[in-house]
Amino acid sequence: MTTNALLTAELAIYAVLSLPVLYLLIRHSPAGLLGWFYLFTFCTLRIVGGAVSASPASIISSIGLSPLLLAGSGILHEARIYHSRVNRAQEWSLVAVFHLLVATGVALVGSGASGLQSDHPTNRDLKLVKVGIGLLTASWAVLCLWTGISCMPSQRDKSAPRHRQGITLLRAVAFSLVPIGIRVLYALVALTTRRRSLNPVTGSLAARVVLGLLPELITTLVLIIAGMRTRNASRVGNEKAEELMGDSSQGRHQLS
């Protein structure tokens, strides 16, 4: 399989997967808006990467990690809303800090990778890439810690109306951290060592498939499956609220 064939395969795969992700973006809003929006953005970047030449595709591949990390954090945020009692202000502060960390990392990687692809690359470009991918690796570590804390029994509220849906999404995020980690570490090694065999676009076919395509695809599929299983979460919450309101009104009538 040539580079163009692999890019074309990615284009076809993510063109198909973008449709259920778009559906889930609608079904999981507003609580899951961030997570599913970023997963859709990731699919879009992979479609664009499959439609362009190798040089721009290399840059897109480098920055494509950011929406995958942000999708994981967004769906984790949705899970926490469903299965635990969260402090809204504190929760959004964590989300903002994580976004800032990822945005800084991807900006540095994009700037450095663009310079390295130019006719006159400099040491500064390589340093930017190394610092940027280091920040993205740190973002993955933070996401692992955040997920681990969310899995603790003290963080769960079994009386929450959408507790079961939250647990399903939480497990999906926890599982997806493994392939995301493989993809992040692959990018870290590839961009810091600059070995031709590890190049995410023009390197060894085995490395690109096993360390690049498959981890991203597994992550996307796991999140889509979990999203489909919890697609009625917002409806469950509304039904529970209506039941509580009905019980409350009946109680008032009985007292009167």
Number of domains in the chain: 1
Rounded Cα gap, residues 172 and 220, in angstroms:
10
Q: Which residues contact 115 (CB under 8 A, 6 or more apart)?
A: 121, 122, 124, 125, 128
pLDDT (tens place) for every residue of the chain, 256 residues total: 566 778 788 889 999 999 999 999 999 988 899 999 999 999 998 888 766 555 555 566 667 789 999 999 999 999 998 887 778 888 889 999 999 999 999 999 888 877 777 777 788 888 988 899 999 999 999 999 999 999 888 777 777 778 889 999 999 999 999 999 999 999 888 888 878 888 776 778 888 899 989 999 999 999 999 999 999 887 765 555 444 334 444 544 454 4
Per the structure, the complete domain to which residue 222 belongs is given by: 3-255
- The total of other beta-carbon atoms located within 10 Å of residue 5's CB is 10
Query: DSSP state, 31?
Result: T
For residues 172-196, one letter each, b for 16 or more C-beta atoms within 10 angstroms of the residue's C-beta and e for the rest, the string is bbbbbbebbbbbbebbbebbeeeee
Tell me: the pLDDT tens digits for 161-187?
788 899 999 999 999 999 999 999 998
- In angstroms, how far is CA 113 from the centroid of its own chain? 21
Query: If phi over 0 gives left and psi between -120 and 50 gives alpha, with beta otherwise, what is residue 194?
Result: left
Rounded Cα gap, residues 74 and 25, in angstroms:
11
The CATH number linked to 38 is 1.20.1070.10
Tell me: the pLDDT tens digits for 95-123?
999 999 999 999 998 888 777 777 777 88
